[in-house]
Amino acid sequence: MFQVTRIPAARLLGAAALSVATLASLSAAHPAAAAGTGASAGAGSGVPAGDHLTVTVRDAGPAADGTFELHCNPAGGSHPDPEGACAAAERDTRWGQDTFAPVPEGSVCTMQYGGPATAHVTGIWAGRPVDVTYDRRDGCEISRWDRMVPLLPEVGAPGRS
């Protein structure tokens, strides 16, 4: 015969309530992401509507280094190629995937050095907050960087002009 006592039943009920609360918090929209999107986000607020990113590039060369603002939908800002940069980010945008995802853990990468260039990208893309760093320390990171050109500057191999 199976007997249910109050203590295990209470623990089970508490675990179920905690699970529901966790799922509800995960499905809620992030307030910072929701604040920057929508048709009325830029109306009179000084904040541009649509996607916007700040790209800071270091050690990529005098013509490429700096901090650039990028606004998409419509394209604009201080980025040298706003249309191309927006297209580069849009090209990898897929529902349920992170456009700016890091190289997956455990990836096998070639041992090559792509130079000292680094980039830091922050802002809002596809309604989600972005805070990501790029470098060129190995083959996987070089490929990840190159996939985002012209959002990130095109950088050749060290020693080449």
Q: What is the pLDDT of residues 28-86, one digit of tens each?
A: 333 333 333 333 344 444 444 679 999 999 999 999 999 999 999 899 999 999 999 99
Q: What tokens were used for 134?
A: 């790029």
pLDDT attached to residue 1: 52
Total residue length of the chain = 161
Model pTM score: 0.68
Question: Cis omega before residue 129 (within 30°)?
Answer: no
Q: 101 pLDDT band (50/70/90 cuts)?
A: very high
What burial class does residue 141 get, using C-beta atoms within 10 Å of its C-beta: 0-12 exposed, 13-18 middle, 19+ buried?
Answer: buried
Are 103 and 141 in contact, with CB atoms under 8 Å apart?
yes
